[in-house]
Amino acid sequence: MQLSLLDVPNPEDAARIRVDELRRLLEQHNRLYYVLDSPEISDAEYDALFRELQRLEDQYPGLISLDTPTHRVGGSALDKFSSVTHRLPMLSLENATNDVEIREFDLRVKKYLGLPQEELIPYLCEPKMDGLAVELVYTDGLLSVASTRGDGITGEDVTENIRTIRSLPLRLSGGRIPRLLEVRGEVFLSLDAFRRINSEKEENGEAPFVNPRNAAAGSLRQLDPRITARRPLSVYCYAPGAADGADFPSQQEFFAAIAGWGLPVNPLVRPVAGIEAAVAFYEEMQQQRESLPYEIDGTVIKVDSFVIQRELGEKSRSPRWAVACKFPPRQAVTLVEDILHSVGRTGVITPVALLRPVEISGVTVSRATLHNWDEIALKDIRIGDTVVVERAGDVIPAVVRVLTEKRSGTEQPSLPPEHCPQCGSEVVRIADEVAVRCMGLACPPQFRESIMHFASRNAMDIEGLGEKFIEQLLSLGLVSSVADLYFLSRDDLMKFERMGEKLASNLLAAIENSKQRDLGRFIFALGIRHVGERTAKSLALAFGSLENLERATLEELVSIRDIGATVAQSIRTFFDNQGNIAVIRRMLEAGVTPAVEQKKIGGRFTGKCFVFTGALSRFTRDEARILVENEGGNAVGSVSKKTDYVVAGEDAGSKLAKARELGVTVLSEEDFLELLGREE
């Protein structure tokens, strides 16, 4: 830049120019080093530039900006992570575990699109990194928020930690930077980095990480970013989230665009035509697996075109346009030392194999569920058998098969018990059901589990009332039904081991607090057979109060969506039991007020039952159902005496006829909308 003599250069302006230049240089060399793996300057030269920038920023704090490379490591530790809601949910992928299932995915895609079987769909194949999914938000080209996947809807804000990843640009480079760009990626640790961290840990006498995935997860969840900065994490980006100011026609072009902006993309991604080439990629990666510098647990196949992706859409939890192809899980061989019988909340007795401890991909496994006795018989698992064990989905241990050639003849088959191992009651196997049940009404483990269920997070959410306390409540005989929880005194609690004033107050407060839970949670907490979280919620919605539910007839119950004869009968049986009614009464007397969810109050359709039939033009069937449910009614599939309204579209057939026959009010779509919006 040429300065005229008339310009009196203000030193801060000069510094600003140099600072901008230094930042650009540092980012550029970072990228050459970490992403392209072809450094153009020495480490010493890089350090010199870095220190010069630091010096200038110290001198002129006004020049410090969000994207400065000297601030990759934020100042101080956090107390906890705040949560971030993803603009678009981060879905998980459906799994295929072999080439047959991969081909089935391809057939499903073509069937859904109405394409002939021989069509070659353009796919994009990627290695599936074994790490953690994150979402990065770039606002006007600046990395503003980074969050973990969490439950797919809401994750944790790990921005400070993500900023320490050197291969990730804090500011996008190149042209046509969108106003908003969300990219999803996988954060991982290279095998090199993993080994280095573990040898350091061992030198310090700390326990090493089990595998690179755990090490990456542990590093990313550090509250102090200075610790994360010492763990050389990496990231590969693979999918778009929301975007404003950018539109990508295909996955392939998305990769090209983000790579152009400096975001790291796995160089092994490959566009292919047709499923056979995708299967070949999967097999190739399996071969290469051991020689890659990082862990992968499979490959991902995506329909390349975003237009076709949108056409295929999503099922509830996963898109139809992608599949995760998992490599066969790593297995181990061990001995079945014993088979135990465990009793669950509903009385179902489950056989559990006690295994000689064995390590599978870094984790020591010592138990595995055998599900039921059909499964045992099918695989012919006996006590003393040598078996192959794997971790299903790399988490839950499962016995795959018996090595019969290792049998000595002394192995003992395991039979379902005739009496409950815990309470001695008779054990029943209901016809056509696989499960074996203890029918004991006062079976201790069943009772213990039902209290655990009652207090659990998704039910009454009584914080602090865990396994240990419940054990003590029971052994001290303080509780003989869940209602007794609401009559506990401070003195009662003080009888517990390791219970101080503070803990007792907290627990009492938590119990008191739980009296306000909404009706759905309360119904769920009761533990009625076949009534889980979801069903409990729709019951609360449909009946609006405990009294209404208690009085509901089988017919009324069956008219609710997703409730059939079995579930209805189970609910009726529960409320016909005088013991159950007495327990509920006692809870209500204690001040438990299962409130109806806010939006249901004053719902116009409370307790009303709708049937939609014919071709609807103003809304889809699903939208209509939501409209009705938001007003406290339900929408069902078939017309019965319980139906209050039938909403008929074009060409309504037998349901309309039946409605007329039963004298049910028939509405047009317009009538329905009017009814919906009328009173107010």
CB of 98 to DNA, least distance (A): 13
One residue of 141, 155, 397, 594 binding DNA per CB under 7 A: 397
Residues 434-473 that bind DNA (CB under 7 A): 434-435, 449
Closest CA to 173 of 49, 17, 30: 30
Stretch that binds DNA, among 83-91, 195-203, 249-257, 365-373 (CB under 7 A): 365-373
Residues 518-537 that bind DNA (CB under 7 A): 529-536
CB of 207 to DNA, least distance (A): 7
Query: Which amino acid is residue 596, in one-letter code?
Result: V
Q: Which is nearer to DNA, 216 or 563 (CB)?
A: 563
> What CA–CA distance (Å, rounded) separates 653 from 484?
54
CB of 271 to DNA, least distance (A): 27
101 binds DNA per the rule CB under 7 A: no
Concatenated DSSP letters of 82-130: PEEE-SS-----EEE-SHHHHHHHHHHHHHHHT--TT---EEEEEEEES
One residue of 83, 92, 513, 668 binding DNA per CB under 7 A: 92
128 tagged catalytic: yes
**645-648 and 665-667: which strand pairing?**
parallel
230 binds DNA per the rule CB under 7 A: no
Give the three-state DSSP class for 521.
helix
CB of 535 to DNA, least distance (A): 3
620 binds DNA per the rule CB under 7 A: no
Stretch that binds DNA, among 48-56, 156-164, 173-181, 392-400 (CB under 7 A): 392-400
Burial class (CB in 10 A: 0-12, 13-18, 19+), 628: buried
CB of 308 to DNA, least distance (A): 18
Closest CA to 194 of 73, 329, 293, 298: 293
Stretch that binds DNA, among 479-487, 491-499, 543-551, 630-638 (CB under 7 A): 630-638
Whether 204 and 220 have beta carbons less than 8 Å apart is answered as no
One residue of 18, 345, 379, 658 binding DNA per CB under 7 A: 345
371 binds DNA per the rule CB under 7 A: yes
Q: Which is nearer to DNA, 54 or 569 (CB)?
A: 569
Measured from the Cβ of residue 430, the count of other Cβ atoms closer than 10 Å reads: 9
Q: What is the CA 298 to chain-centroid distance, rounded?
A: 19
CB of 630 to DNA, least distance (A): 16
Supply 83's token pair: 């949560």
Q: Which is nearer to DNA, 352 or 388 (CB)?
A: 352
> What CA–CA distance (Å, rounded) separates 119 from 114?
10
> What CA–CA distance (Å, rounded) separates 511 from 231?
43
Q: Which is nearer to DNA, 168 or 541 (CB)?
A: 541
> What CA–CA distance (Å, rounded) separates 276 from 518?
52
Residues 197-226 that bind DNA (CB under 7 A): 210
> What CA–CA distance (Å, rounded) separates 449 from 461?
15
* Cα-based distances in Å from 512 to 377, 471, 508, 608: 48, 20, 6, 34
Supply 393's token pair: 């989905």
One residue of 120, 377, 565, 657 binding DNA per CB under 7 A: 565
Measured from the Cβ of residue 531, the count of other Cβ atoms closer than 10 Å reads: 20
How far the first Cα of the chain sits from its last, in Å, is 69
Stretch that binds DNA, among 255-263, 419-427, 558-566, 645-653 (CB under 7 A): 558-566
> Which residue out of 111, 128, 406, 655 is catalytically annotated?
128
DSSP run (H or E) holding 660: helix 654-662
Q: Which is nearer to DNA, 374 or 547 (CB)?
A: 374
Measured from the Cβ of residue 236, the count of other Cβ atoms closer than 10 Å reads: 21
433 binds DNA per the rule CB under 7 A: yes
CB of 75 to DNA, least distance (A): 30
Task: Using CB under 7 A, list all residues that contact DNA.
Answer: 92, 95, 210, 315-316, 342, 344-348, 350, 352, 363-369, 371-372, 374-375, 392-393, 395-398, 432-435, 449, 529-536, 561-568, 636-638
**Annotated active-site positions, please?**
128
